Amino acid sequence: MLEINTTHLERLGWDKDRDAELRTLLLEIPEPGPTVENADSGPKLAAQSEGYLVGRISFVSRKHFLVHDGQNEIAARALGGQTMQACVGDWALCRRVGSGPAVLVQLLTRKNLLSRKAPGKRPEPQHLAANLDVVFLVAGLDEAFNLARQERLVSAIRASQIEPVVVLNKSDLGGTLQRDRIAAASASGTETVLVTSALRGQGLDLIKEYVPFGHTAALIGSSGAGKSTLINALLESGKIATGPVRRGDSKGRHTTTNRRLYEIPDAGLLIDMPGIREWQLWTPAGNPGVTEGFADIEQLAETCAFRDCRHESEPGCQVRLAIEAGHLDAARLRSFQKLQREEAYFRERYPEITSGREDRIHPGGFDKKRQLKGLHKKYRRIQQEKRRRQGR
């Protein structure tokens, strides 16, 4: 059987389940036999650099990946349909051939996966990160707090079986806002709200507590919230580029453009992400959906007189009762119902996805179509330009 050294992977979050899976996988891979000399086989590849390795994807840029094996980051690329699927935080079995980039052979089973619907019209997921323990929802105390988006994020994160933790950063600028914000953030369905100042190094220990050795967290939030600055402060090296926010509305300039995994000294791993603008749900089969972020309402709804209570004017509605008694915010119920409608629309619109036949929608298919369209456009433009120059 093939052997792969995994001793250095623990600090990247390697666990027993992953190890067992890898052992099984390796049983299926035939051991490389002695090379047969064959005049037709072309140039020989360097034998010593060939071989399998396992590591965690630490960086993604389109089809290019970096895979961390616990000691080094190795350049890798995906083959065919896998391109769409691999993301930061994934464990991958790779194969190295010659001196070029390694090839992702197979992804190991994910503990969880954070996805949203890819921006644009195409019904495709965008996988943001895999195998997370926590997602930090970072908001700057200088930016306008968007409760509706926060609720949407919390339910998406919960639905992926990941714990959401709100981080209110820039406490040095917060002033009197702070108290209201903490209340608002708590109303979004998260239990934990941390207050930090990346600039002054306040609250960094709180973050570390949530990401101990071997754990992984991703940072999500608007551009300019201070995600990269927070990671820099924790890295104690300041190696990630950060950018100033706009005067007036404190909006960031989308400084971070890729997702990347960082190892924090004396703690676990943090994934830096580009700032987000919007978040469309992606709730295929197997994903418990938006209800996960609204356990409080779900619990109340179970005690409503009617099983299909819409919490409008039905008698014996415990949800309305809770709102009237001031235990539940009416806006929160509205958010929940809005997300439920969105989810229902998604499931109706894309039944092939929600019934678990996602594989029928070939990821490459859309790309190819778009590529062709782009080529046709380009061709037409060149033709037009040619005619123009010929004076037609």
How many alpha carbons lie under 13 Å from residue 379 in its C-beta half-sphere? 6
Size of the site for Mg ion (CB under 5 A): 4
Q: How far is the CB of 11 from ligand GTP (least distance, A)?
A: 24
Indicate whether 232 belongs to the interface with Mg ion (CB under 5 A).
no
Q: How far is the CB of 233 from ligand GTP (least distance, A)?
A: 8
Instruction: Residue 111: name the closest of 93, 135, 132 by CA.
Output: 132
Indicate whether 245 belongs to the interface with ligand GTP (CB under 6 A).
yes
Indicate whether 88 belongs to the interface with Zn ion (CB under 5 A).
no
DSSP reduced 3-state for 324: helix
Do residues 102 and 183 make contact, with C-beta atoms less than 8 angstroms apart? no
Contacting residue, 58, 150, 188, 223, with ligand GTP by CB under 6 A: 223
- Residue at token pair 């404190």: 250
Nearer to Mg ion, 158 or 227 (CB): 227
Would you tell me the crossing angle of helices 330-349 and 147-159 to the nearest 10 degrees? 60
Total residue count of the chain as it appears in this document: 392
Dihedral over Cα of 109, 214, 273, 293: its sign: positive
- As a whole number of angstroms, the distance between CA 166 and CA 134 comes to 10
Q: How far is the CB of 66 from Zn ion (least distance, A)?
A: 50
Contacting residue, 56, 127, 311, 332, with Zn ion by CB under 5 A: 311
Indicate whether 172 belongs to the interface with ligand GTP (CB under 6 A).
yes
Nearer to ligand GTP, 172 or 352 (CB): 172
Give alpha helix (H) positions in 325-362. Answer: 330-349, 351-354
Indicate whether 254 belongs to the interface with ligand GTP (CB under 6 A).
yes
Indicate whether 323 belongs to the interface with Zn ion (CB under 5 A).
no
Contacting residue, 169, 197, 228, 335, with Mg ion by CB under 5 A: 228
Q: What is the DSSP secondary structure assignment for residue 191, as one 8-state letter?
A: S
Binding positions for ligand GTP, rule: CB under 6 A: 169-170, 172-173, 197-199, 221, 223-229, 242-245, 252, 254-256, 274-275
Binding positions for Mg ion, rule: CB under 5 A: 227-228, 255-256
